[in-house]
Structure 1
Amino acid sequence: MSKFKTEDKIQIVLRYLEGNESFGKIEEEVRVSKTIISGWVRLYEQHGMEAFIKSYTNYSGEFKLNVLNYMNETGTSSYDTAAIFNISSPGMVRNWRKAFETGGIDALQSKKKGRPSMKKVSKINKEQQLPVEGSIEALRAENDRLRMENAYFKKVERFSSRTGKITNKIKAQVIFELKHKFDVVEIVKVADIPRSTYYYWEKRLNNEDKYAKVKEAIAAIYHEHKGRYGYRRITKELEKKNIYHDPKTINRLMNEMGLKCEVRMKKYRSYRGSVGKVAPNILNRDFRAGKMNEKWVTDVTEFHLFGEKRYLSPVLDLCNGEIIAYKVMNRPVYSLVGDMLEEAIKKIKPDDEVILHSDQGWHYQMSKYQNKLKEHGIRQSMSRKGNCLDNAVIENFFGLLKSELLYLQEFESMEHFERELEEYIYYYNHKRMKAKLKDLSPVEYRTQVLKAA
């Protein structure tokens, strides 16, 4: 933990929990990274004020092994695990995991403290002496150290996620990327490799990279799509720019760059038993459609942020996967579905015969919803109860939406999230390529392919 006093940490935590201030705003004022503040919040939520009063603990090998077993069994992150077990630093948990992977159980045993080496204070320059504990310089130095550790372990995890191993090359690569921000000597200590090893790899990393321009193009595409594209889609985007490489090569380069596609949440369930009339399953998992306004699918999903909830009700056309209408509300009332249906109906042409498929949610069983469908000649189809495969396409859209938006970025407020949600649906319709649409977006496919047919 940093050298902040206990009351300072608690005050910062309460500012976030009770004052509705974002991590970003607090970070600017107190000059502590969002990751550290988030760790304090987790500790406070799990253990209250005692989490910050705890004295130094020499953790036993058995305790460390129990912590690592818990992580493996539950899939919790190092940050959440540190909070649950009241461990002062998530970096400590990651070090235990690294030690266990390389040296087994023996590596988790506490090492005996030897006699520290003696150094003549007279030979140390005044500039090199440690700042007085509690001083502004000490706080800054501690904050810089925590920022450095956080940056290092974050990048190491990304670089090693594919291989599952943390090699000296990966460590050197991370140090090489961070050396313009932090002192190399200090990062090498965090990486726990000899300085000579780092400089050996640095020399090799400095050699001319024949893939430099390809990596530049990969990074541009990756960031344009906000980390939503994996190596297959990026390979296809590169081909549009006349850059041709095997997908395996692109995958390897992305691993070297620490770029990977991110990832999926519990779905809102609107089923309340038999409320009205249930329709037959006309769609019957036949998700093929030769033209627009032939087969539609719909459902409702829930988002929970900032102590509030939002519900999204979209209609997706199975011909090109386009979201043709949607509605967002703070309660799952009938108008959530009713208003969305009104918008979708505007897309129907006189000779269209539409099937609209949904689950057996109470909205879709209501007589006014079903009467509206009959009024416009829309045939209603419903999934069998408890079988999500019958509505797999809209479920897949919700999975993409949450992995590519909800879990990929931070939001300052619910209003900010709603703006980003609107922007994502536009992006999904107009820019996001789909392999089954000949690598075009839904709108591009509708305007280029279907119009020409």
Structure 2
Amino acid sequence: MAKYSGKFKLMVVKEYQEGKLGYKLLARKYGVKSHKFVLTWMKNYEKFGAKGLMREKNNKSYSVQFKLDVLRFMKRTGSSVIDTALQFDLTNPSMITKWKKDFIEGGAEALGKPKGRPSMSDKAKNKQVEEKEMTNEQKLERENELLRLEVEYLKKLRAFQMDPKGYLERQKQRYHSNSKKNSN
């Protein structure tokens, strides 16, 4: 979704208030994705003033109970998403649409899930738990396997450094002989 600056929104709202163009024509004139954006900006401006057109920087989080109250109000009154947002002093109606979708897909529990990815510290904790679950013998086997791979890699690297053309030729021959065996 495109992000529009508060200054741009205010300019569009002021032009709408002049009464020359409607929501749809203004949206088309300025390349706004949907005329509903212009309608939302207009209603936000009427209720909150120019402050209602500015993007919120604080990423406010709402309780599950608040989200449920908003959804119940919308269902009970049959209000539109925009009108419901204005009723609850929310300047972003699409947030309610997301809450509704989450509620339909996962119930009230889905409304309480935190936004975004888990922090890096959670990943590190999960890795530590996995390592603790491995027995001492499993850890040693894993270390041996890694050391074998490292030695094999270093041998191939040394052979390549000593004679790059000869090494590549041997690898080609080995590849061709293996592919002939697999095709039979």
Structure 2 stretches of 5 or more lacking a match? 121-184
Question: What is the number of residues matched between the two proteins?
Answer: 116
Q: Which residue of 58, 63, 66 corresponds with 1:60?
A: 63
Pairing partner for 1:114 from 118, 121, 124: 118
Cα gap change, 1:103/1:24 in structure 2, threshold over 3 Å: closer, same or farther? closer
Identify the residue that residue 31 of structure 2 maps to in structure 1: 31
Q: Which has the higher strand share?
A: 1
Separation in 2, partners of 1:92, 1:73: 19
> Do residues 40 (structure 1) and 44 (structure 2) align?
no
Q: What SS does the corresponding residue of 2:62 show, helix, strand or coil?
A: coil
1:22 Cα deviation from its structure 2 partner? 1.3
For residues 113 and 45 of structure 2, the distance between their equivalents in structure 1, rounded to whole angstroms, comes to 27
> 1 CA distance for matches of 2:113 and 2:44?
24
In the alignment, what sits opposite 2:158? none
Give the secondary structure class of the aligned counterpart of 2:73. helix
Structure 2 residue matching 1:104: 3-state secondary structure? helix
Find the counterpart in structure 2 of residue 12 from structure 1: 12
Q: Deviations over 1:257-306 (max 9, x none)?
A: xxxxxxxxxxxxxxxxxxxxxxxxxxxxxxxxxxxxxxxxxxxxxxxxxx
For residues 2 and 45 of structure 2, the distance between their equivalents in structure 1, rounded to whole angstroms, comes to: 15
The partner residue of 1:91 within 77, 89, 94 is 94
Q: Distance in 2 between matches of 1:35 and 1:50?
A: 19
> Which amino acid in structure 2 is aligned with residue 59 of structure 1?
Y
The separation in 2 between residues aligned to 1:68 and 1:49, in whole angstroms, is 27
2:77 aligned to which of 74, 80, 83: 74
More off after superposition, 8-17 vs 90-99: 90-99
For residues 164-175 of structure 1, what are the structure 2 equivalents within 5 Å? none
- 2:104 aligns with 101
Residues 243-258 of structure 1: matches in 2 within 5 Å? none
Q: Which amino acid aligns with 1:46?
A: K
Report 1:419-430 matches (<5 A): none
Q: How far 1:4 sits from its partner (Å)?
A: 2.0
Aligned CA-pair RMSD: 2.3
TM-score (norm 1): 0.24
Greater relative contact order (Cα < 8 A, sep 6+): 2
Equivalent residue runs for 1:357-368 within 5 Å: none
Deviation at 1:109, TM superposition (A): 0.8
Q: Which residue of 2 aligns with 1:229?
A: none
Deviation at 1:88, TM superposition (A): 4.4
How many angstroms does 1:65 deviate by?
1.2
**1:320 corresponding residue in structure 2:** none
Alignment-mate amino acid for residue 40 of structure 1: W
Given that 1:23 and 1:37 are in contact with CA atoms closer than 8 Å, whether structure 2 keeps it comes out as yes
> Which is greater in Rg?
2
- 2:171 alignment counterpart: none
Superimposed CA distance per residue, residues 119-165 of structure 1 (whole angstroms, 9 cap, x where no aligned partner): xxxxxxxxxxxxxxxxxxxxxxxxxxxxxxxxxxxxxxxxxxxxxxx
**Residues 336-383 of structure 1, C-alpha deviations (whole Å, 9 max, x = no match):** xxxxxxxxxxxxxxxxxxxxxxxxxxxxxxxxxxxxxxxxxxxxxxxx
Q: 1:9 Cα shift? A: 0.6
**79 and 22 in structure 1: CA distance in 2 versus 1, 3 angstrom threshold:** same
* Per-residue CA distance 1:208-243 (angstroms, 9 max, x = gap): xxxxxxxxxxxxxxxxxxxxxxxxxxxxxxxxxxxx
Q: Percent of counterpart pairs with the same letter?
A: 33
C-alpha distance 36-58 of structure 1, shift in aligned 2 (>3 A): same
Change beyond 3 A, Cα 1:14–1:85: farther
Task: Find the aligned partners of 1:66 and 1:2 in 2 and give their Cα distance.
Answer: 29
TM-score of the superposed pair, with normalisation by structure 2: 0.54
CA distance in 2, matches of 1:82, 1:76: 10
Q: Which amino acid aligns with 2:71?
A: L
SS in 1 for 2:102: helix
CA gap of 1:24–1:72, structure 2 versus 1, over 3 A, is: closer
Map 1:281-300; keep pairs closer than 5 Å. Answer: none
Structure (1 or 2) with the greater helix fraction:
2
Q: Deviations over 1:401-438 (max 9, x none)?
A: xxxxxxxxxxxxxxxxxxxxxxxxxxxxxxxxxxxxxx
Query: In structure 2, how many angstroms separate the alpha carbons of the residues matched to 1:8 and 1:25?
Result: 16
> Once the 2 structures are TM-superposed, how far is the Cα of residue 89 of structure 1 from its aligned partner?
3.7
Question: Which residue does 1:446 correspond to in 2?
Answer: none
Aligned residue identity for 2:46 = E
CA contact (8 A) 1:99 1:107 kept: yes
Q: Which runs of 5+ in 1 are unaligned?
A: 117-453
